[in-house]
Amino acid sequence: MKRTALRWMICLMSALLVADIAVAQAETQSGEMTEEEASKLGEEFGIVVGAVDEAIRKELHLEKPQGVAVFEVIGNSRADYAGIKVRSVIKEINKQEIRNMADFGRAIKKAMEECNFTIGTYEPADPGDPVGWGVNFHFVGCKRD
């Protein structure tokens, strides 16, 4: 009796695992992008990023909590060579608006398949600069060896 119940539980767990894998594959194929996948793509490009939440919106004095905040730039990466800066907010990639991590992940994945692309950011001004934030466009060239 116990073996039958154990086998049934193993079969049920296997079926659930297969279903989870199928859902994940369907999401990937349909263009869904998780924050974790987007983060990994960001690191591959050369930046550590996160969603602009309400706390970041307030700290950076943004109108809306939209875009993707750059927390770190990895040295000698495509992002570093393009001049992406820490504390900037990515608002577009190749003229595609970036509102959240999913937008970022889809856009950066597509862009990195190309040799050249652009990234539009809002960047903080230098301390004491009365002008404030500025929009900057970064040209990302071919990957260097």
Q: Kindly list the distances between the CA atom of residue 138 and the CA atoms of 13, 91, 108, in Å, as whole numbers in the listed order.
A: 48, 12, 13
Positions of E strands within the chain: 47-51, 68-73, 89-93, 96-97, 117-123, 134-140
pTM above 0.75, yes or no: no
* pLDDT number for residue 116: 93
Q: Kindly list the distances between the CA atom of residue 65 and the CA atoms of 51, 57, 112, in Å, as whole numbers in the listed order.
A: 8, 5, 25
- Band of pLDDT at residue 17, cut at 50, 70 and 90: very low
Q: Which SS3 state, helix, strand or coil, does residue 82 take? A: helix
What's the rounded mean pLDDT across residues 35-40?
96
Q: Which has the higher per-residue pLDDT, 8 or 17?
A: 8
pLDDT digits over 71-111, tens only?
Answer: 999 999 999 999 999 999 999 999 999 999 999 999 999 99
Over pLDDT 70: what percentage of the chain? 70
Residue 51 contacts by C-beta under 8 Å, 6 or more apart in sequence? 35, 65, 68, 69, 100, 101
- Band of pLDDT at residue 48, cut at 50, 70 and 90: very high
- Band of pLDDT at residue 18, cut at 50, 70 and 90: very low
* pLDDT number for residue 61: 80
